Amino acid sequence: MLSLDRQRETEIRIDDVSMVFGRKGREVTALSHVSFEVYRSEFVSLLGPSGCGKSTLLRLMADLLEPTSGQITIGEEVPREVRLKRKFGIVFQSPTLFEWRTVKDNIELPMEVLGLKKSEYSAISERLIDMVGLTKFKHHYPWQLSGGMQQRVAIARALSLDPPILLMDEPFSALDEFTKEKLQLDLLDIQRQTKKTIVFVTHSIPEAVFLSDRVIVMSAHPGRVHSILDMEREEGSYEQIRNSTRFHEMTAQVRSCFLIRSS
């Protein structure tokens, strides 16, 4: 249990958060009394079926929504302060690239919005382009790239202001299996290099098990935390890890959370 031994410093604290959508009389409870913590430099997955509120939870952390009740603190601050200080990067399921901007210009968008000068950020974007392996494509437009490449651009853009936290909302779920595997490995590499805290929303059990230090299993209607499971990161190639007994045990353990619910 490597992650347990590590010095745990809380980065994100979700404290009894509930979220209700809709007007009076027609309310839909998306989240009901959710509490957990995310530690610094940790890779946490929010895993669950559709309707479990995992995306809502991510949007609450990003201050794109406000909780009906409960509190979220990131470091010592509320999400709004964190957002205004641009301390997180965000990646959505769709790459949300600006079609009129080249790869490089897309990656530079957050720095441009911040008001930095071109001379200051050009080197940063060049480095990020190299990091996500798009050096040859930096002057291409999004429509000239494959889906996987577009999502790489989105990841590079999320990293451009070097935020301590990366929020990812099913970033690989629209990609084919081959591209997905490659990007999963690349993301783990990026996390090893940059030590970011990553909150990763997914509905794929193997993906959550493969990537995460911890998996937060959520159940739906209303959305709440079912259980929090510690994962073990193994060394080895993608094939070795995926075929290992330990990987299958962990996958089975996660899957059993859902089996209990349905029986």
Give min distance, CB of 141 to other proteins, in A: 6
Pair of tokens at residue 234: 């193994």
Query: Which runs of E-coded beta strand occur in the chain?
Result: 10-21, 28-39, 43-47, 69-74, 88-91, 165-169, 197-202, 214-219, 224-230
Give min distance, CB of 89 to other proteins, in A: 8
Distance CA 77, CA 139 (A): 38
Give min distance, CB of 110 to other proteins, in A: 5
Cis amide leading into 222 (omega within 30): yes
Residue 144 is given by DSSP the state G
Of 229, 224, 227, 226, the C-alpha closest to 34 is 224
Task: Give the residues across from 216 on adjacent strands.
Answer: 46, 228
Give min distance, CB of 226 to other proteins, in A: 27
Q: Which positions lie near other proteins, rule CB under 8 A?
A: 59, 62-64, 83-84, 86, 88, 90, 92, 94, 96, 98-100, 109-110, 112-114, 133, 136, 140-141, 143-144, 146, 148-149, 161, 178-179, 182
Give min distance, CB of 140 to other proteins, in A: 7
Give min distance, CB of 5 to other proteins, in A: 34
Give min distance, CB of 57 to other proteins, in A: 14
When the beta carbons of 47 and 165 are compared against other proteins, the nearer one is 165
Distance CA 220, CA 222 (A): 5
> What does the angle CA 43 – CA 48 – CA 52 come to, to the nearest 5 degrees?
115
When the beta carbons of 26 and 136 are compared against other proteins, the nearer one is 136
Q: CB count, 10 Å around CB of 138?
A: 18
Of 13, 28, 44, 35, the C-alpha closest to 226 is 35
When the beta carbons of 64 and 228 are compared against other proteins, the nearer one is 64
Radius of gyration of the chain (CA): 19
Of 239, 240, 181, the C-alpha closest to 211 is 181
- Give the 3-state secondary structure of residue 89: strand
